Structure 1
Amino acid sequence: MTYSQLTSSELLGIRTLGELKRAGYQSKSIKQELRDNLITRIRNKDNVFPGIWGYEETVIPDVERAILSMHNINFLGLRGQAKTRIARMMINLLDEYIPYIEGSELHDDPLNPLSRAAHDALAEYRDDTPVAWLHRDERYTEKLATPDVSVADLIGDVDPIKAASLRLPYSDERVIHFGLIPRSHRGIFVINELPDLQARIQVALFNILQEGDIQIRGFKLRLPLDIQFVFTANPEDYTNRGSIVTPLKDRIESQIVTHYPKTIETGKKITEQEAVVKTEQKGLVKVNELAKTLIEQIAFEARESEYVDSKSGVSARLTISAYESLLSTAERRALINNETSTYIRVSDLYGVVSAICGKVELVYEGEVEGPVIVAQNLIGKAIRTQFLNFFPDPEKSKKSKINPYAKVIEWFGAGNQMEMLGDMTDREYSARLKTIDGLDDFVDMLSAYASAEEKLFMMEFALHGMAEFSLIGKQSLDQGMKFQDLVSSMFSGPGEDDDDYDFDDDDDDNNGRKPF
């Protein structure tokens, strides 16, 4: 049986260099190890990066090409684009265990020793040199680049305490205290937000990346380190906080540009996977697909908003936090009303404002408006965008001979108002929506097969959508929303009675609209 065919328990049973040699162990660089294991995974049709959605045809192929090329990698992208997550998942491409000389702080390869301690152990014990095993999870090191990071932190420095305790002069390499990078020998080393690293510290990485060695305070010391480097950077950093010095960029062989989800469905997969939904919430709150879609649409609207700084980006953490807040908003209402279950409401979306405010960086105009108003504006735009996927276009309906919204508009035009308070009981919520003439029948025509709870959701969705298209008025209250009439100059005259609605009219074509 060859070394590669040994099970984990059999490997862990090997305790000396002699036993390791007899098993047929051969040294392999970490980049070769990543390459070999990736080739096996690709041939077996395995998903190399499970749970990374939206990158299947873009980022993931670039990462695989970089690993096959045995390149160091720089992930360039805005915040919340899974850069660090992909780097962390690269450990799954490492062997489960690798041997190292027991006691060596750099986890020296028994057949290719690096440190003075490892050489001394081999000289003394030869084939009886003790061997230990390092799990793949221990071969990953991550450092966030901050302005206070020093060369000593990353590379190392002379340790006067070690020199004194060992009674060695400062010229002896044994007095060196190695930094994070040498200690990552035979592993993956990640520096997040590389541009935040001071230029003089970036310069210290030149030799490591190009020649694979380090220099510490003038020591004539060459350590051919074996490391897979991964860097992450935000394009915003290049202009606001710092930059990657040109010679360092030149030494990083592959730069991979990440991006946000390109479709609502991809965003929903990410949110559903990452959101923390409590066990009690699963049994208490019922959520439909449209509510999940609206949460994702908020992020899409934020990325296009004139109030939000596009250079900063809108992280996927916005939708994750917003979805968690959406469920908590409904849960809180049910708890207040002592209800054993509740169905999500459109008005619950306004309970996620606090989750939105901290996730977007506003430009000057947005700061003038205020983060809460901007968040409410984004929710309104999300409703407006998705409204057209379920209801006739209000702009076309205004010009049509038969206006499907006419009866609802007439009800508000008669001076009626409707307050939709956030903490209403389910019974009161239903009663208030059904009070509005024509709303029930109108929604029933579009969602004939919906459940009673889904239908109520769509009735409220119709009200919010009509308000966004200025068919009726909407006013924010401390406890919810109030729907009312708009002055007659803001909309065309009332249409025909809803008994004559024709959703197949050329101007109000409803074909192809999404089922609820």
Structure 2
Amino acid sequence: MTPATPPAQPDGLPDTRAALRDSGHLHRPVAAEIRENLLHRMGSGLPRFPGLHGFDTTVLPQMERALIAGHDIVLLGERGQGKSRLIRTLAGLLDEWSPVVAECPVNDHPFAPACPPCRERAQREGDGLPVLWRHRSERYGEKLATPDTGVGELIGDVDPARLAEGRSLGDPATIHYGLVPRANRGVFCVNELPDLPARAQVALFNVLEERDLQVRGYTLRLPLDLLLVASANPEDYTARGRIVTPLKDRFGSQVRTHYPLGTAEEAALIRQEAALPESTAVPAHLVEALARFTHLVRGSKRVDGHSGVSVRFSVAAAETVAASALRRAALAGGEVPVARVCDLPSAVAPLLGKVEFELEAEGREEEVLHALLRRAVAETFRARLGGADLDPLLERFSGGATVETGDLVTAAELLRRVGTVPGLAALIESAAPEAEDGPPTPGLAAAVVEFALEGLHLERRLSKDTAPDGESYRF
């Protein structure tokens, strides 16, 4: 999201139209401004859409072509595919600072004032017209469409207070501008466009095609200069409404988004988006397991594929797993919190509300997720420890010995119960490579040992019994 408070304005920027002209400043439309900055970044190898993962060869090339073409864009995709994040990065393609006529409600450029009051001021004040500068973060506007969003909120309406001053109904000065004209010379986003009432969608026709406004039966010739971007769920899923066909036709480009295609991209998004406590570690093998879990849920026949499984599913799972580890550490009285496999099941129940199941899974939703989670852990075990020599660990149990663990068993206690594990350093290096930054902590060592035990159980090489309360396990 763009910052709420723009950075401090640099010194020495022109403060009048004359000074602006003398500085050599060139007035460019927003489409040209974005195009030139995008092409510059592409040629210089600079990041264009920061914070996005998995779109490099699919979505982003389409976006770049649409922006270079100067098109307004509608993004189609299921929930949680990063549509809003992608749109918000577009503000970063604007010039860092842009001049506007001081006190202009629609951000007119000093060289091309468009609204009636600014045209009058330009005639009256000439090159002394005062200039202010807006940061690109102030040139991005966004509206979440809802069924009660009106034309006045988006486009504008007659201001009764100005009529009371004696102005006529047809006087442009009586208009109170809505969100779209106030985003003039910037980027404006309408999220969930199908939720916008048909009347409000129709009001956008002129904005997209003729770039002027129609308010209360008369047309205000206000040439708007903006990039309009909308997001929507595919029409076959969105039952609340649909994009009016003529409006859809007026968007220059349509871009389809998608969920991360691989677990590496999903894991990167978890790391980026999850609000994890700074004191709590979620090792790499657990992040991968959650990424695989999310992909398995998306591909399950028992889950409604049309509704989608948001990236927020995996993010919330990681946050819950970290919370479980932090809870264990607090109850243990000071242990450094590190998430373990025993924390994964705690995420299932809170995630039920994020998944739409098919009728055949009714009443068994939690069972379905637990089964997919076990499969994700097994796949992660094979990927990370499938080639490791675990026979020395298995020998620990060959004589009938057992090890009890659970989400309230501390790392130190688990390591004590397991005893010495030959080759533990190599296991840690394979399962949790972040340990290369320093010597592994007891918490990380316990997490890898428990991961190895769980993997051996899922591979049917080690038995596992669950206590009646479901809180502890015995290998």
Mark yes or no: TM-score above 0.5.
yes
- Give the Cα–Cα distance (whole angstroms) in 2 for the partners of residues 183 and 326 of structure 1: 43
Q: Which has the greater radius of gyration?
A: 1
| Paired position in structure 2 for 1:206 | 205
Q: Which stretch of the first structure deviates more once superposed, 340-349 or 88-97? A: 340-349
CA gap 1:156/1:97 in 2 versus in 1, 3 angstroms: same
In structure 2, give the amino acid aligned to 1:478.
D
Distance 1:406-1:274 versus aligned 2 partners, 3 A rule: closer
1:236 to partner: Cα distance: 5.8
**TM-score w.r.t. structure 2 length?**
0.86
Task: Point out where structure 1 has 5 or more consecutive residues left out of the alignment.
Answer: 1-7, 394-402, 485-516
Q: Does 1:460 align with 2:450?
A: yes
After superposition, where does 1:459-478 map in structure 2 within 5 Å?
Answer: 459-468=449-458, 472=463, 474-475=465-466, 477-478=468-469
Task: Quote the residue 1:184 is aligned against.
Answer: 183
Matched, 1:226 2:219: no
**Paired amino acid for 1:228:** L
Deviates more, 1:52-61 or 1:143-152: 52-61
Deviation track 1:146-176 (CA, whole Å, cap 9, x = no partner) reads 1111111111111112211x21121222111
Distance 2:225 2:325 in 1: 53
Q: How do 1:203-282 and structure 2 match up within 5 A? A: 203-235=202-234, 238-281=237-280
State the distance in 2 between where 1:391 and 1:369 align.
31
Letter in 2 for 1:298: F
Give the structure 1 partner of residue 32 of structure 2.
32
1:172 equivalenced with 2:171 (yes/no) = yes
1:353 corresponding residue in structure 2: 348
2: distance between equivalents of 1:342 and 1:129? Answer: 61
The 2-side partners of 1:477 and 1:90 are apart by 54
Q: Does 1:381 align with 2:375?
A: yes
CA distance in 1, matches of 2:117, 2:256: 41
**Conserved in 2, the CA contact under 8 Å of 1:419 and 1:480?**
no
- Judged with a 3 Å threshold, the aligned counterparts in structure 2 of structure 1 residues 483 and 59 are, in CA distance, closer, same or farther, namely same
User: What is aligned with 1:100?
Assistant: 100
Deviation at 1:121, TM superposition (A): 0.8
Deviations 1:90-144 (A, max 9, x none): 1111112222221211111122111111011112212222222222111110000
**Residue 187 of structure 1: how far off its partner (Å):** 1.0
Residue 430 (structure 1) aligns with: 415
Work out whether 1:480 is the aligned partner of 2:471. Answer: yes
Report the aligned-residue RMSD. Answer: 3.0
Q: Which residue of 1 aligns with 2:283?
A: 288
CA displacement at 1:274 relative to structure 2? 2.0
Stretch of structure 1 that moved more, 199-208 or 179-188: 199-208
**1:347 Cα deviation after fit:** 0.4
Distance 1:358 1:80 in 2: 14
Partner Cα separation in structure 2 for residue 163 and residue 95 of structure 1: 38
- Contact 1:186-1:225 within 8 A present in 2 as well: yes
2:451 counterpart letter in structure 1: F
Distance 2:339 2:191 in 1: 38
Tell me, yes or no, if structure 1 residue 119 matches structure 2 residue 119: yes
- Deviation at residue 205 of structure 1 after TM alignment: 1.2
Q: Aligned to 1:321, what secondary structure does the other structure show?
A: helix
Please tell me whether residue 51 in structure 1 is matched to residue 65 in structure 2: no
Distance 1:389 1:112, change over 3 A: same
Q: How many aligned residue pairs are there?
A: 453
> Pick from 317, 326, 344: which aligns with 2:321?
326
Task: Name 1:141's counterpart in structure 2.
Answer: 141
Structure 1 CA distance, aligned partners of 2:237 and 2:310? 18
1:318–1:355 CA contact under 8 A, matched in 2: no
For residue 32 of structure 1, report the CA deviation from its aligned partner: 0.7
Q: Which moved more, 1:197-206 or 1:146-155?
A: 197-206
- Describe the superposition over 1:301-360 as per-residue Cα deviations: whole angstroms up to 9, x where unpaired: 111123322212122222222222222211211111113325432101122234423332
1:90 and 2:73 aligned? no
- 1:298 aligns to 2:293 (yes or no): yes
Query: CA 1:408–1:194 in 2, change beyond 3 Å: closer, same or farther?
Result: farther
SS of the equivalent of 1:108 reads coil
Q: Is contact 1:467–1:474 with CA below 8 Å preserved after alignment?
A: no
Distance 1:323 1:124, change over 3 A: same
Moved more, 255-264 or 340-349: 340-349
CA distance in 1, matches of 2:129, 2:428: 77
Conservation of the 8 A alpha-carbon contact between 1:196 and 1:237? no
Please state whether the residue corresponding to 2:317 is helix, strand or coil: helix
Residue 364 of structure 2 corresponds to residue 369 of structure 1: yes
Deviations along 1:242-262, one digit per CA (max 9) or x if unpaired, are 211221111111111111112
Deviations 1:232-291 (A, max 9, x none): 11126654222112211111111111111122222222221222233333xxx4x43212
2:405 corresponds to 1:420: yes
Q: Which moved more, 1:134-143 or 1:457-466?
A: 457-466
- What does the per-residue CA deviation read over 1:41-92, in whole Å, with 9 as the maximum and x for residues that have no partner? 1121111112212111121221111111111111111222221111111111
Equivalent pair of 1:236/1:311 in contact (CA under 8 Å): no
In 2: Cα distance, 1:339 partner to 1:145 partner? 47
Q: Distance in 1 between matches of 2:68 and 2:254?
A: 14
Distance across 2 between alignment mates of 1:67 and 1:54? 20
Does 271-280 or 461-470 show the bigger shift?
461-470
What is the SS of the residue equivalent to 1:91?
helix
Consecutive unaligned residues of structure 2, counting only runs of 5 or more, are 1-8, 431-439
Judged with a 3 Å threshold, the aligned counterparts in structure 2 of structure 1 residues 446 and 188 are, in CA distance, closer, same or farther, namely closer
Asked if structure 2 preserves the Cα contact closer than 8 Å seen for 1:100 and 1:132, the reply is yes
- Larger mean CA deviation between 153-162 and 20-29 belongs to 20-29
1:238 and 1:244 in contact (8 A); partners too: no
**What do the CA deviations read for 1:368-392 (whole angstroms, capped 9, x no partner)?**
214x434323322212322333566
C-alpha contact (below 8 Å) 1:208/1:225 kept by paired residues: yes
Find the aligned partners of 1:148 and 1:269 in 2 and give their Cα distance: 37
Q: Is the CA contact (8 Å cut-off) linking 1:353 and 1:376 kept in structure 2?
A: yes
Counterpart Cα distance in 2 of 1:383 and 1:31:
48
Q: Greater CA deviation, 357-366 or 291-300?
A: 357-366
Determine if contact 2:78/2:234 at 8 Å carries over to the other structure.
yes
Aligned partner of 2:6 in structure 1 is none
CA–CA distance in structure 2, aligned partners of residues 189 and 308 of structure 1: 35
Residue 423 of structure 1 deviates from its aligned partner by: 0.7
